[in-house]
Chain A
């Protein structure tokens, strides 16, 4: 059962619980307040309603007003905010930057994660070293990672990136974060370094769950290491890869920290993602109504990606069943 099929799987779980627990609770002679299921669910639901459902609803409401940051005095403006957003070149540019970052980062994050996991699984020595080396950066706050890259890796001349280029005889002095040609790539590079460890760990545990007898049979048949990788390992990792792709796309679409801290969206807004535009409109421009409208356009994009996953998974299952 995959984790990311929120609509279908859990409903069946909950459904199964009904008859058994129902008869047991109603059949009891003495019932205390704790027998009621709502007692268990209520505390979470209160927090959930206040800090997820309510902002979701009120945000939608605000997107039809010109409310400011304190939430006071919003006049109803109908669809004006949405009309403005669709005609706002900055919305389209920052949406494009967001998608472009997602495209650039997803493939290396999944592929590098896979390669690192295959290496660690194949070597099966000094596992702690691979875990610490590749996973540890994931544990650092984005602030730490970005300050490190901003002040010590990317600065022109004395930065580590330039010095490494110089030491292998390449031309240093690249504007890693200041040149429009490289800024987004530098952000991707930092992101891969920082977060690939998570994908590495997921792949590693998927690899270690593959039963050894599958390989033993192939080895007896004289299959080479490459053939075993292509015909056994990679197909068995399909589900993990599919899941990781979706998780990665959803995570990358939400980019904010790295861009805000490394380039501030520049040079010339060329790296500014949609969430930063929301932040600028709402928190420095005080236009919460407009920021909410832009948020909801972005939310629609995220929903589209989330909903595509169960559909794709179902189609894949159908294909597998047809074979």
Chain B
């Protein structure tokens, strides 16, 4: 275990970590901190498994008189959670696909082709990095009203696709792809379109994955914009729906916690399965290494 860890993480020195008193102390501190961080999550799960009558008992009780899935059943029966999950999934998947494809095409166009006004347009896209989307909520909403996109999937999706930072990340990556590979294909008679899809895109899988992961996480978790642009409960994404429904639960804490667990679970499971790739992806965007 430890040898495997040291070889791929390659920290301060390559040797196998020994358990000196100092390191043991650090380990205890770290374990304490992890426990502290996980405590709220454990508390949510524990509460969701209690009978409704015992959720507000003091002093602290982690497990109720019995473990019951009653709260989950109640929450699931209402059906809303399923609808919101489907909405969130659709919105996030489509936003991610569109962002990856449109941003990659744009980045390739900016760095590998030439056309009139290219530098000016690229400058315009880069300047957009400094515009926080939150500043645009008022005019964007008015635009959505005029376009008739309020309470539609596209109203939620489209503003999130215009991501200039992703174009910038991809431009940096494409710039590092050796031109020789593309030139060989040109000699063989392939056009730009084919070169882009069959050579550049497959070569860029790691950075495309990073862009996709980032976009997916931020779209799945986005609150403010979907909250503004959806009023019909059937069209809400998971985070917005959850907040919307709390009032109808009254103070049924077990049910509220059960719905949070259901809503929080998908990304946590994805993270546990793909930890390595997600962590590498975050490093890959150039944020960390430099």
Q: A: which residues have CB within 8 A of B? A: 1-3, 6-7, 10-11, 13-18, 20-22, 24-25, 28, 32, 34-41, 43-45, 47-48, 50-56, 58-59, 62, 67, 69-71, 116, 119-125, 127-137, 139-144, 146-149, 151-153, 155, 157-158, 160, 163-164, 166-167, 193, 198, 201-210, 212, 215-216, 219, 225, 228, 239-240, 243, 250, 254, 256-257, 261, 275, 278-279, 282-283, 288, 291-292, 295-296, 298-299, 302-303, 306-307
Which residues does chain A contribute within 8 Å of B159, judged by CB atoms? 51-52
19 residue pairs from A and B, CB less than 8 Å apart? A13-B172, A35-B113, A43-B102, A44-B106, A53-B124, A59-B140, A116-B33, A123-B27, A128-B275, A132-B271, A137-B37, A141-B221, A143-B239, A147-B256, A155-B56, A160-B60, A219-B13, A261-B243, A282-B141
**Contact A302:B132 (CB < 8 A) given known A71-B146, A202-B288, A240-B290:** yes
Interface of A is mostly: helix
Q: Which of B133, B264, B285 has the most CB of A within 10 A?
A: B264
Which residues does chain B contribute within 8 Å of A21, judged by CB atoms? 112-114
Which residues does chain A contribute within 8 Å of B268, judged by CB atoms? 136, 139-140
Q: Which of B103, B140, B169, B286 has the most CB of A within 10 A?
A: B140
How many angstroms between the C-alpha atoms of A137 and B268 in the bound complex? 9
**Contact A134:B191 (CB < 8 A) given known A44-B103, A160-B43:** no
Q: Could you say which of A1, A47, A158, A202 contacts B56, with CB atoms under 8 Å apart?
A: A158
**Contact A125:B162 (CB < 8 A) given known A21-B114, A142-B221, A152-B47:** no
Q: Is there contact, CB below 8 Å, between B282 and A201?
A: yes
Not counting A127-B5, A141-B263, A167-B59, a sample of 6 additional A-B residue pairs whose C-beta atoms are within 8 angstroms of each other reads A17-B111, A24-B183, A40-B106, A127-B9, A133-B35, A140-B267
Q: Is there contact, CB below 8 Å, between A141 and B275?
A: no
Q: Could you say which of B103, B131, B145, B275 contacts A52, with CB atoms under 8 Å apart?
A: B131
**Contact A148:B257 (CB < 8 A) given known A13-B111, A135-B271:** yes
Q: Is there contact, CB below 8 Å, between A288 and B17?
A: no
Number of residues in B with C-beta < 8 Å to the partner?
124
A-B contact count (CB 8 A): 377
In the complex, identify which listed stretch (B73-81, B115-123, B203-211) lies at the interface while the others stay far away.
B115-123
Which residues does chain A contribute within 8 Å of B2, judged by CB atoms? 124-125
**Contact A288:B142 (CB < 8 A) given known A1-B286, A59-B136:** yes
